[in-house]
Amino acid sequence: MNVITPTVAEAAPASLQQQMQAHIGRHAQKSFDWDAFPSNRGYPELARAQMRYIGAGGSPKVGDTATMKPDHFTLSLIHKPVGNYAACHAHEIEESFLILDGVLTVGWEQEGQVIEVKLGPKDMILNARDVPHGFRNDGVVPVLMSISVDVGAPLPPRYVYHPKNTEAALARAFGAQPGKTEALSAAGTHPLQQLMAHHVIRFSEQPIEWHPAGFSRKVYVGEGGVQSTTAHKDMIGIPRGVGVKPYARPVEDAFLVIEGVVTVGWEGDDGEVVEAKLGPLDVVKTPAGRRHWFRNDDMSDAQMFMVVGEPGAETVQFEAA
């Protein structure tokens, strides 16, 4: 008997449940890649590990089949050991660093002058396009942070001060000679001071907005936060028992759960609904046009970082579930 194997075209379409699961990254099921950035090879002081959720995020490993395909942004985690640093480089597009654990020192460079800022958990910096920057872990515990690059396929970084062609101490200082480093200060007069000050969000200082649907938010990137022409990013607080009705966007959005458990749901074109629970460091990316929602029906309050693939103020009219 001849067995006829179905062609790809004849294969049954994925169910809504399968589609949703393909758009979820489970932290416990993923692995850190210690060779994500080939330019670091041979320089142990540059070592860092990447966990990719959406896109490659500056790594050349764009073919990772365990990673969700990007549209308007990438999303990954970076683990930086104590004492290590990232060489000073620039991008053609903005990228945000959201600190999850530890304290990270970020430096911006201009003509040999460097402005540095220390960021703690839930603080964020949006690195401006074409501004050389690096980061360093001067703390006592490893740094864990989320990096979101605000384009689906970023160009490779342009290194300005790398130990392969720069004296080691100068590379570690992001290109600053002794006496040429300043801490970020509201009273600073250097143009780079003024620029960086408008790109840093302190979680403890950012105003809370309470939505009529019952959740809170702190705007990180967008109207009320750091201004950008590429994406919108909020920290969302979801008290126990709070949720929203289904909504859709013309672009994708993604949720990175920071604390607690968040239930997310999708609605199919035929009215079918599927749900999944996300724990800390799990990610869901919902494609443009898909009706979806979030809810906290767990035992404690939850927080999640939301990235939206368009700039400006929030356009969704959320309604309480």
**Is the CB of residue 265 less than 8 Å from the CB of residue 273?**
yes
Type of residue numbered 273? V
The sheet carrying 104-110 orders its strands as 158-161, 85-90, 133-136, 104-110, 113-119, 181-183
Closest C-alpha among 291, 290, 266, 278 to residue 238: 278
Angstrom distance (rounded) from CA 75 to CA 152: 10
Query: Which of 43-47's residues contact partners 24+ apart within 8 Å by CB, and which partners?
Result: 43/163, 43/164, 44/84, 45/83, 45/84, 45/85, 45/163, 45/168, 45/172, 46/84, 46/85, 46/86, 46/87, 46/163, 47/81, 47/84
Type of residue numbered 218? K
Tell me the HSE value of 231 on the side-chain side, using a 13 A CA sphere: 28
Rg (CA), the chain: 21
Q: 17 — phi, psi (to 5°)? A: -65, -45
User: Cα 298 to the chain's mean position, in Å?
Assistant: 25
pLDDT computed for residue 9 by the predictor: 55
pLDDT computed for residue 12 by the predictor: 78
Structure tokens at 203: 């979680």
Structure tokens at 283: 């990610």
Say if strands 209-210 and 216-221 run parallel, antiparallel, or are unpaired: antiparallel
pLDDT computed for residue 125 by the predictor: 98
Q: Is the dihedral of CA 14, 257, 224, 71 positive or negative?
A: negative
Angstrom distance (rounded) from CA 310 to CA 71: 11
Q: Is 34 helix (H, G, I), strand (E, B) or coil?
A: coil
pLDDT computed for residue 274 by the predictor: 98
pTM over 0.85: yes
Please list the alpha-helical segments (H only) found in 144-241: 168-172, 191-197
Angstrom distance (rounded) from CA 249 to CA 316: 7
Per residue of the chain (321 residues), give pLDDT as tens.
455 555 555 667 899 999 999 999 999 999 999 999 999 999 999 999 999 999 999 899 998 999 999 999 999 999 999 999 999 999 999 999 999 999 999 999 999 999 999 999 999 999 999 999 999 999 999 999 999 999 999 989 999 999 999 999 999 999 999 999 999 998 999 999 999 999 999 999 999 999 999 999 999 999 999 999 999 999 999 999 999 999 999 999 999 999 999 999 999 999 999 999 999 999 999 999 999 999 999 999 999 999 999 999 999 999 999
pLDDT computed for residue 1 by the predictor: 47
Structure tokens at 280: 């800390």
Closest C-alpha among 241, 232, 288 to residue 261: 241
3-state helix, strand, coil in the chain (%, to 5): 10, 40, 55
